[in-house]
A and B are shown apart, each in its own frame.
Chain A
């Protein structure tokens, strides 16, 4: 019976193509748009990725990772005085204008690391050594920044190309020289420009007129101390705000700086709305096209179903046949659509723009939605077939 059902489905090629197109297109739209959405949203908490620490401590009024409210230098010693803290290091973050050698200005994200320990330093340097930051007027820029701030050079063929900055090149921040001693590999950020790392003490010279330069404190709990519990203690003892640094935004902990940043952008920007519309469109188009196609497929095959009915098959058998047909089409459409989405995604990841993050949750949710569309189509078909009289087959 099921083989018969599948033969019915695959037999009508034009209908099948139409059905698969609708399902695949809606799967593609949902998976691809959601992935780009989460890609852009994952850029919002890039600082948590790029500056690694177990706990971040900030001013109590800070709402998300790109929001730096200056603290007093002595707050560092108050945090170091909390039981359960193994060590705490200062961190400066700010957005400043950098002046390129060609006179152009670029916005950069200036990161001041503790020169003593380099806590929070980028994990991978593609050139240079982190220790060279201890030399005067030195910075480390990320690869994207090196490209972005590069020198435009006109080649012999008259074509303008950009030569990326390399170790030894300089630019200016606040009228002070910034000499590049390293290139690092970090993620790109939603706000501000490229990440430029220097030492915490030097940010006092690089930031214009800022009296207090302590933006965050990076804290390591003592071995065996739970990060979330230590956050509670830091908040109780100092009145500051403490965050954990896990970047799994599905984790429902309210302490996660990444998750709070994600939801801050969710609430305060139009990004979720615009992408939500696209995803909803995918869903509606999917339901409409595949529902309608499947319905007309059922209508066309109505006489066969009536014949099956007339042969004595119960409604249950016919319903199962329709479900098999709908879910087979759904799974095939899902596979094709998601396959196209991942192909686009891989091309995007290669280019790095726009960002593309396909969480496993996106994969499974798309699958559930596509199967839901199939279910709705099948139910419409079942209702139609159940109403048909077995005698139809004899009326021609």
Chain B
């Protein structure tokens, strides 16, 4: 009897104890862990953030073709450094080359004709006897010689023209630059004015084009310093300083619609951005490529230096 009472009490105590123990496990909060890779972190107040895109200084040259034709030879590869005037692409020149042969032959023929007419004119002009040739005939010989010389000059000019046209089939680099893209292969057709067959850019120095939301635009001033964090570099081994100091270049005077990157067919733009250009020197210890994205923090607390 006495024992049973104790058993009951022990059972109740055990039940309550187990329940109390269960309450501990269920009320816990999941801890907030830092992200696996350190994000670009603000270290002070007064910073405004922007999305940046790395591009070549003085923008990229989309090299165009003045004429249509098939590609005969591609002189460059991606990464090649070209000097101004170096050939980049040669278009098919067989029709003009054939024409040139004909025209060169024409020059030889015109030369022969001119020589003969000249000779006749000289011979008849040299005769002292005034009765041997009439004044009319003499004039005719002299005009014929002049005409033959003019035809020779014409034939030579046509050859020069063809040579210039032939030269125009060779696309040359207009500036000292690095080849960023080669979009054609030998045998492909290049239409005048369409897709740029080759993209050139000066990538010795890079600049960064920052998109600043129009609502942040009032806080932007010329000359503000900034720091950039390359996307995808959070996993950088060694944990060195990620931030790249940026030098102010200019503010684009025209606010443009933000380029949305969804790739949808019915793309609509809902915000406008102020574009700000910054420049930076290539860091020696890492590779940076044109087209990479960067998180940019612009320091609005700094005094903007007057130019």
- Which residue on chain A has the smallest CB distance to residue B8? A332
Q: Is A363 in contact with B23, judged by CB distance below 8 angstroms?
A: yes
Interface string of A108-146 (1 = CB under 8 A from B): 000000111111110100000011000000000000000
Q: Is B37 in contact with A117, judged by CB distance below 8 angstroms?
A: yes
- B251 on the A face (CB < 8 A): no
How far is B18's CA from A346's CA once the two chains are assembled, in angstroms?
10
Q: Nearest Cβ distance between residue B212 and chain A, in whole angstroms?
A: 7
- A360 on the B face (CB < 8 A): yes
Q: Nearest Cβ distance between residue A41 and chain B, in whole angstroms?
A: 12
Q: Is B33 in contact with A77, judged by CB distance below 8 angstroms?
A: no
The 5 closest A-B pairs by CB, nearest first: A339-B15, A335-B12, A80-B49, A83-B45, A342-B19
- A173 on the B face (CB < 8 A): no
Interface string of B257-278 (1 = CB under 8 A from A): 0101111100110110100000
How far is B302's CA from A313's CA once the two chains are assembled, in angstroms?
88
Q: Is B216 in contact with A52, judged by CB distance below 8 angstroms?
A: no
- B164 on the A face (CB < 8 A): no
Could you give 27 example pairs across A and B, Cβ below 8 Å? A52-B33, A72-B270, A72-B271, A73-B51, A74-B51, A74-B271, A76-B49, A78-B215, A81-B47, A89-B35, A116-B37, A117-B38, A130-B36, A212-B270, A213-B262, A220-B41, A247-B29, A334-B16, A335-B12, A337-B15, A338-B16, A339-B11, A339-B19, A342-B19, A357-B27, A358-B22, A362-B23
- B173 on the A face (CB < 8 A): no
How far is B34's CA from A118's CA once the two chains are assembled, in angstroms?
10
- Which A233-276 residues have C-beta < 8 A from chain B? 245-248
Q: Is B42 in contact with A85, judged by CB distance below 8 angstroms?
A: yes
A-B contact number at CB 8 A:
163
> Which of B11, B12, B216, B232 is in CB contact (< 8 Å) with A116?
B232
With A116-B39, A211-B260 already in contact, the answer to whether A336 and B12 are too (CB < 8 A) is yes
Q: Nearest Cβ distance between residue B54 and chain A, in whole angstroms?
A: 15
Q: Is B12 in contact with A332, judged by CB distance below 8 angstroms?
A: yes
Chain B residues with CB below 8 A from A336, complex form? 11-12, 15
Chain A residues with CB below 8 A from B55, complex form? none
- A54 on the B face (CB < 8 A): yes
How far is B38's CA from A72's CA once the two chains are assembled, in angstroms?
24
How far is B295's CA from A341's CA once the two chains are assembled, in angstroms?
54
How far is B232's CA from A131's CA once the two chains are assembled, in angstroms?
11
With A78-B213, A338-B15 already in contact, the answer to whether A121 and B20 are too (CB < 8 A) is no
> Which of A131, A245, A340, A359 is in CB contact (< 8 Å) with B15?
A340
Q: Is A118 in contact with B36, judged by CB distance below 8 angstroms?
A: yes
Chain A residues with CB below 8 A from B263, complex form? 204
- A10 on the B face (CB < 8 A): yes
- Which residue on chain A has the smallest CB distance to residue B51? A77
- Which residue on chain A has the smallest CB distance to residue B297? A80
- A49 on the B face (CB < 8 A): yes
> Which of B20, B42, B215, B258 is in CB contact (< 8 Å) with A80?
B42
- Which residue on chain B has the smallest CB distance to residue A362? B23
Chain B residues with CB below 8 A from A222, complex form? 42-43
Chain A residues with CB below 8 A from B34, complex form? 220
Interface string of A354-369 (1 = CB under 8 A from B): 0011111011000000
- Which residue on chain A has the smallest CB distance to residue B24? A360
- B88 on the A face (CB < 8 A): no
- Which residue on chain A has the smallest CB distance to residue B214? A74
- B50 on the A face (CB < 8 A): yes
> Which of A49, A85, A362 is in CB contact (< 8 Å) with B30?
A49
> Which of B23, B46, B212, B267 is in CB contact (< 8 Å) with A359?
B23
Interface centre among A53, A76, A332 (most CB of B within 10 A): A332
Q: Nearest Cβ distance between residue A134 and chain B, in whole angstroms?
A: 8
Chain A residues with CB below 8 A from B258, complex form? 73-74
Q: Is B18 in contact with A339, judged by CB distance below 8 angstroms?
A: yes
Q: Nearest Cβ distance between residue A3 and chain B, in whole angstroms?
A: 12
Chain A residues with CB below 8 A from B271, complex form? 72, 74
- A31 on the B face (CB < 8 A): yes
- B134 on the A face (CB < 8 A): no
Chain B residues with CB below 8 A from A246, complex form? 29
Q: Nearest Cβ distance between residue B274 and chain A, in whole angstroms?
A: 11
- Which B224-279 residues have C-beta < 8 A from chain A? 231-232, 234-235, 258, 260-264, 267-268, 270-271, 273
Interface centre among B22, B31, B213, B267 (most CB of A within 10 A): B22
Q: Is B33 in contact with A345, judged by CB distance below 8 angstroms?
A: no
Q: Is B26 in contact with A332, judged by CB distance below 8 angstroms?
A: no
Chain B residues with CB below 8 A from A81, complex form? 47-49, 216, 219
Q: Is A363 in contact with B39, judged by CB distance below 8 angstroms?
A: no
> Which of A117, A212, A342 is in CB contact (< 8 Å) with B22?
A342
> Which of B19, B38, B295 is in CB contact (< 8 Å) with A31?
B19
- Which residue on chain B has the smallest CB distance to residue A81? B48
Chain A residues with CB below 8 A from B23, complex form? 358-360, 362-363
- Which A30-79 residues have C-beta < 8 A from chain B? 31, 49-50, 52-54, 72-78
